[in-house]
Amino acid sequence: MKTTTAERWHSKNKALLFVLDCSRNLRMYRKHKYLVLMFVPVVMYYLVFCYGPMYGITIAFKDYSFSKGILGSDWIGFDNFKRLFAAPSFREVFRNTLILSFYKLATGFPATIAFAILLNELQQIRFKKVVQTISYLPHFLSWVILGGMFIQLLSPSSGPINQLLSLIGMKPIYFLGDVKWFRFTLVITSLWKGVGWGSIIYLAAIAGIDTQLYEAAIIDGARKFKQIIHITIPSLAPVITIMLIFSVGSIINDDFDQIFNLYNEAVYSVGDVISTYNYRIGLIQNEYGYSTALGLFKNLISVSLILLTNFLAKKYNDYGIW
């Protein structure tokens, strides 16, 4: 394939074009210098609190000693990672993390979309606002507060739920102390807390759908269910894809606040996850190198999942993060 004169000129003068582009950008920055100054604190925040501490990743490859500091500690290569992968306790918490995250994704992701669609179909504005407000409220309560609430509500001796079960002849259920019920409790409480807040982005996307599509569907005789199947859900496909990519990417990032405030030693076998295990190893047992290696491994898995999910999404439906 022959190259044109313009293409040959561009290939020979890349440096000149780069300089011209930089000069153009500098003129634009000078023109909008006050907007640039407003952006400086944001950049400084991420440099100081996000990128600066990344130097601490080197602890994962050292036999870290608090007295010696990061620079003075001895390099041990991948010994912390070898120890991590060989530990039976790590394999258990890794399995628990994947199982719990999969349960939450399989229930919470479609439930959020369904709730947004159902909420959008409410005709009475006042009732719709009341439902929205009630569904958003749990998001603003910390798991410290909710943990105490659920411990009281689910108590096998004095909790109202178990009292209702006893009234109908059932035995008390140890929701937070029985390995058979603990994961179920985590999934349901997480769903209750997040489904309302998570529906906001889908409600915003639904509001942007062209109403003429629904009007045309009504003329053709399509009822509400068919309108949802053939108009609403296809129109939400880009948003659903992006949110799914983020959700899959965070499948390894368990909800530390929830689990830490609800679990106990009786349910460690099914409820102990990477974040709680990392907390005990790093902050209680002071094994900083081992803890940092675990955190680095978790972040690498998250990045890999995001890249893989984005690649598959772009391949099959042309939607993705980039």
Query: Per the structure block, which two tokens stand in for 162?
Result: 């178990």
Q: Report whether 135 contacts 195 (CB < 8 A).
A: yes
| pLDDT over 90 (residue 321) | no
Q: Using the predicted structure, report yes or no on whether residue 75 has a pLDDT greater than 60.
A: yes
Crossing angle for the helix pair 143-153 and 182-198, nearest 10 degrees? 130
DSSP per-residue string spanning 121-189? T---HHHHHHHHHHHHGGGGS-HHHHHHHHHHHT-TTT-HHHHHHHHTTPPP--TTT-TTTHHHHHHHH
Average pLDDT, the chain: 85
Q: Annotate 39-104 with three-state secondary structure.
A: HHHHHHHHHHHHHHHHHHHHHHHEECCCCCHHHHCEECCCHHHHHHHHCHHHHHHHHHHHHHHHHH
Give yes or no for residue 294 having a pLDDT over 80. yes
The pLDDT of residue 5 is 61
Cβ pair 288, 64 in contact under 8 A: yes
Share of the chain above pLDDT 70, in %: 93
Residue type, 161: I
Q: How far is CA 120 from the centre of its chain?
A: 24
Which domains, ranges and CATH numbers included, belong to the chain?
5-63 (no CATH), 79-317 (1.10.3720.10)
User: Residue 166: pLDDT above 50?
Assistant: yes
pLDDT of residue 320: 65
